Homo-oligomer: A and B are copies of this chain.
Amino acid sequence: MTSPERLTLQPLIDKLQFWAPLSDADEAAVRALPVTFRRLKAGHYVVWDGDRPQHSCLLIHGFAYRHKIVREGKKQIFSLHMDGDLVDLQNSLLGRADHNVEMLTDCDVALIPVDAIRKIAFDRPSVGMAMWYETLVEGSIFREWIANIGRRDARTRIAHLICEFAMRLKAAKLGTPEGFMIPMSQEWISDAVSLTSVHVNRVLKALQADGVIHRSRRWIEVRDWDGLVEAGDFNPAYLHLDQVHPAAI
């Protein structure tokens, strides 16, 4: 956990800067956003499907995820979030939430009023563009997940998820592929890759038996990155991490 006095909007500025160059005035405007810092417990829902969200949630430290429940109570996870992610710009901008947002671990967050986000995006085009890019990349990840769930078998799907997670952690400077935390039980993983937890268990064991990964509790070590990439049919292009300021005109 981050100590209270260290809670700032710096992670947001870093994230936006990644997508578009911000002027000093833009940066100042971001810092001037009226935010509320909060510590949320694992399992806390920031937004429920059907809500009219009043805030967007900047994850300063911790993991969160978004999901829907379909008929018969089956759960589908479609995104995982980590330090620095501006979770759920989407629900809040659209006005009516179409899915749930839940903390995966205890988290430090900054709650930013939707109105303030709309205003800054509108008044400061660079900031708006950067936020737009953020949502565009999330869209790209959704597309990859559709393909992953729709057209890949269990082993490939799971390997792909691990690759993506490792890659994003690295980009966020939160770990290395050599060893990192996936803060999800096999049950959660199964809801992210649309399988049963039983089957996830078997596949994970198989990947381990093949010497590709080693998993104990929620800690994963990648023993053979190339093997994992191969197993996961993984091509990181869709993450658009190599983008340098595409928003710059």
Residues of A within 8 A of B (CB): 50, 66, 68, 70-71, 74-76, 78, 90, 93-96, 98-99, 115, 118-119, 121-123, 125, 128-129, 132-133, 135-140, 142-152, 156, 193-194, 233, 237-238, 240, 243, 246-247, 249
Contacts and interface: CB of A to CB of B under 8 A. Distances in A.
B128 A76 contact: no
B94 A151 contact: no
A233 B136 contact: no
A132 B142 CA distance: 16
Residue of A76, A122, A137, A147 with highest tally of chain B CB at under 10 A:
A147
6 contacts: A50-B237, A94-B133, A98-B144, A121-B125, A125-B125, A139-B142
Nearest to A99: B143
B122 A249 contact: yes
A116 B150 CA distance: 35
A146 B76 contact: yes
Contacts of A93: 132-133, 136, 246
Contact of A146 (B95, B122, B145, B151): B145
Contacts of A94: 133, 136-137, 140, 240, 243, 246
Contacts of A237: 50, 96, 98
Nearest to A75: B151
Given A68-B143, A94-B140, A135-B139, 18 more contacts: A50-B237, A70-B148, A70-B151, A76-B146, A76-B150, A76-B151, A78-B147, A90-B139, A94-B240, A94-B246, A98-B140, A98-B143, A98-B240, A118-B249, A122-B125, A125-B128, A135-B136, A149-B149
A140 B240 contact: no
Contacts of A119: 249
Nearest to A71: B233
Given A233-B71, A249-B115, A240 B128 contact: no
